[in-house]
Structure 1
Amino acid sequence: MNTMKWLLRREFWEHKGGFVWAPLIAAAIMVVLVAGVVGYGVGADKFQGDSVTVRVDGEEIHRTQMSVLATGHTRNEMANVAANNYMAVGAPIFIVLPVVAFFYCLAALYDDRRDRSILFWKSLPISDTTTVLSKLLTALVLAPAITIGIASAAAFVILLLAGIAVSAQGVNLFAPVLSNINLYLSPVYLLAMIPVYVLWALPTAGWLLLVSSWAKSKVFLWAVGVPLIVAVLLKWLDYMLALYGTTINADWIINNVLETMLLGLVPGAWFMDGGTALPVRAQYGADMLSLLSASWGSLARPEAWVGAAGGVAMIAAAIRLRRWRDEG
Structure 2
Amino acid sequence: MKAFTALVHRELIEHRGAFLIGPLILVGVLFGATVLAFTVGRVDARFSGALFTVAPLRVYEIGFLAFGLGWSLYMIAVLFFYCADGFAADKRNNAMLFWKSMPVSDFRVLLSKLVAGLTVLPGTIYAVALLSGVLLYGVAYVTMLINGTASVATLGSIAIIYANVALAIIVTLVCGLLWYLPAMALVGAIATAVGRWAIPISLLLPAIASTLEWVTLGGLHPFSTHTWRFIEYRGALPSTPYVENWFMTDQPFSGVAFATDLIANMDWTQVGIGMVFAVVVIYLASEYRRRTNDN
TM-score (norm 1): 0.74
Aligned residue for 2:104, secondary structure, equals coil
Deviation at 1:166, TM superposition (A): 2.9
Counting matched residue pairs gives: 291
Please name the residue that 1:25 is paired with. Answer: 25
CA distance in 2, matches of 1:200, 1:227: 17
Please name the residue that 2:209 is paired with. Answer: 230
Deviation at 1:45, TM superposition (A): 9.2
1:250 and 2:221 correspond: no
Aligned residue for 1:283, secondary structure, equals coil
One-letter identity of the residue aligned with 2:15: H
Q: CA RMSD in A?
A: 3.5
- The answer as to whether partners of 1:84 and 1:182 remain within 8 angstroms in 2 is no
1:305 and 2:272 correspond: yes
CA distance in 2, matches of 1:93, 1:228: 29
Deviation at 1:303, TM superposition (A): 2.9
Please name the residue that 2:92 is paired with. Answer: 114
TM-score (norm 2): 0.81
Closer/same/farther in 2, CA of residues 45 and 204 from structure 1, 3 Å limit = closer
CA distance in 1, matches of 2:46, 2:223: 57
- Among candidates 117, 121, 124, match of residue 102 of structure 2: 124
CA distance in 2, matches of 1:146, 1:2: 22
Aligned residue for 1:124, secondary structure, equals coil
Closer/same/farther in 2, CA of residues 46 and 299 from structure 1, 3 Å limit = closer
Structure richer in helix, relative to its length = 2
- Write out per-residue CA displacement over residues 80-99 of structure 1, whole angstroms, 9 at most, x where no aligned residue: 77368624334333332122
Deviation at 1:208, TM superposition (A): 0.8
Between the two proteins, what is the percent identity of the paired residues?
Answer: 21
Please name the residue that 2:67 is paired with. Answer: 89
Structure 2: where are the runs of 5+ without partners?
A: none
One-letter identity of the residue aligned with 1:46: D
- Among candidates 241, 262, 274, match of residue 277 of structure 1: 241
Closer/same/farther in 2, CA of residues 289 and 174 from structure 1, 3 Å limit = farther
1:190 and 2:151 correspond: no
CA distance in 2, matches of 1:80, 1:46: 19
- Write out per-residue CA displacement over residues 72-114 of structure 1, whole angstroms, 9 at most, x where no aligned residue: xxx7xx4377368624334333332122211111122222123
Higher radius of gyration, 1 or 2? 1
Structure 1: where are the runs of 5+ without partners?
A: 56-65, 70-74, 264-268
